[in-house]
Amino acid sequence: MATSLPPRLLVADQVADTLTVLNLPDGSESSALHGRHLAEHAGFLALPGGRVAFVDDRAGELLVLDPYGPDRDRPLVAAAVPVAVPAEHLAADPTGRRLAVTTGLGRNEEPWSDLLTAVDLGAPEGPEAVRIRTRTGEPGVTVTGGADPLVVLRHREPGRFAAYRHRTLMAAAPACPRTEPDADLALPDDDGHGDAHDPVTGRLFAAAGSGVHRLAYGEGRLTAEEALPWGGPGRGYYLRLDPVRRTLWSCVRGGPADPGRWPEWSNDAWWYGLDSGRSGRVPLGPGLVFRLAVTARHTAFARVHPDGDELVLLAVDSPGGPRVSARVGLAPMAGAPRAGGSPWDGVERRAIAASPAGSLVAVSRGGHGQVELVDAERPEWRRTLTVPTPLHEGGHLALVHPDDPAAGDPVGR
């Protein structure tokens, strides 16, 4: 039975072109893919039924993985569909059938690609994809639900939302035609970075310097709602939805603009209850914090700093709002970023993963081929897993359970 199967950790090493699926908590190998280059910025996308999608940036394919397929005499790769690369962002509609992939810079200095790929995993003749042209840049993307879903791009410089009917995109002619949006709306900021979608209400969210912009669609047009403030100095560059508690999360960064002074950056966990309207911030500490992960009762952040790295766990059900429940020290990385240099380029990083179906949190140790596994319910319990590749640049992680509720957050991470 599916309930007897263990949680599994997908460990992608985009430098070594390898993806390994591990059983948890012992770390034994369940299955593996070789010669696959995960698009790290687009990340993993949780789909219904415990499936996971990602883009192979070298092959130009969207892969749908079934981590529990081999247990049921099904292949690990459930589908492979050609898409435009380099993949920047990846999202699905709430059913997991209709997807969209945007393109970004890749290993280039300036935006150059205007290609958008629409995917239908449930097409009558099997999975199919269509590419069209939109606007050069690095757009974020969300896909609404319903019988006629929209693919909504969040553009920068100038900031703008552009919405396309998914069925219109799938009917586009060959040879990547330029396609005008069915609806669009100005975004007040030119620095948008971070997107989320609430499948329950259909609202879309975009992080920017002035706050989190909210968007609704109805009667053939996009409508902006009042933006959510960051509640203090700084701004978030990332948004994530906890689909179980219906809470938006981000990390608000403050401090000097010079990337070389990243150890001085301040970091606060920012949260907003979609149903309650309550919001708040929780200090995490100085250094580099970016992506986060959601467990059954905690939200987890990995913090990198020259004085020592740590996993910061927030208990989300505290009566007064989320609070720091534990700080777990992490083994140092030999190639970690240093003060005065870039915290992103040419250095080792940490990836983080969890699932709202359980309490385990996984954090990678870039360059060392290790993943630290921590139980958020009892953080004194921990286990170090070893993988067959170095995990340079931190790799990328996804933690899944059978019928995982993570699919309620339909944006790639």
Contacts of 130 (CB under 8 A, 6+ apart): 117, 118, 169, 170, 171, 172
CA distances in angstroms from 344 to 99, 150, 377, listed in the order given: 29, 33, 31
Query: pLDDT tens digit string along 287-327?
Result: 999 899 999 999 999 999 999 999 999 999 988 899 999 99
- The percentage of the chain sitting over the pLDDT mark of 70, rounded to a whole number, equals 99
Q: What letter represents residue 42's amino acid?
A: A
| pLDDT confidence bin for 130, thresholds 50/70/90 | very high
Residue 52 has pLDDT above 60, yes or no: yes
The pLDDT tens digits of the residues spanning 364-392 come to 999 999 999 999 999 999 999 999 999 99
Q: State the Cα–Cα distance between residues 230 and 232, nearest whole angstrom.
A: 6
What stretches of 149-289 adopt beta strand conformation (E)?
150-155, 160-165, 183-186, 195-197, 204-208, 211-218, 221-228, 235-236, 240-242, 247-254, 266-273, 279-283
Check whether 2 has a pLDDT greater than 80.
no
Is the model's pLDDT at 189 over the cut of 90? yes
pLDDT at 412: 98
Is-contact 351 291, C-beta < 8 A? yes
Q: CATH topology for 2-408? A: Methylamine Dehydrogenase; Chain H (2.130.10)
CA-nearest of 18, 23, 32, 17 to 4 is 23
Q: Mean pLDDT, to the nearest integer, of 167-192?
A: 96
Q: pTM of the entire structure? A: 0.96
pLDDT at 402: 93
Taking only the tens place, the pLDDT of each residue in 21-36 is 999 999 999 999 999 9
Pairing between strand 183-186 and 45-47? unpaired
Pairing of strands 195-197, 183-186: unpaired
- The answer to whether 2 and 378 are in contact (CB under 8 A) is no
Q: How far, CA to CA in Å, does 331 sit from each of 288, 362, 371, 385? A: 16, 13, 10, 13
- Model pLDDT, residue 217: 87
Strands 221-228 and 235-236: unpaired
Reported as half-sphere exposure (CB side, CA atoms, 13 A), residue 255 has a value of 18
What pairs with residue 18 in β-bridges?
13, 34
Q: Count the residues in the chain.
A: 413
pLDDT band at 356; cut points 50, 70, 90: very high
- The answer to whether residue 70 scores a pLDDT higher than 80 is yes
Per-residue model confidence as pLDDT tens digits over 259-275: 999 999 999 999 999 99
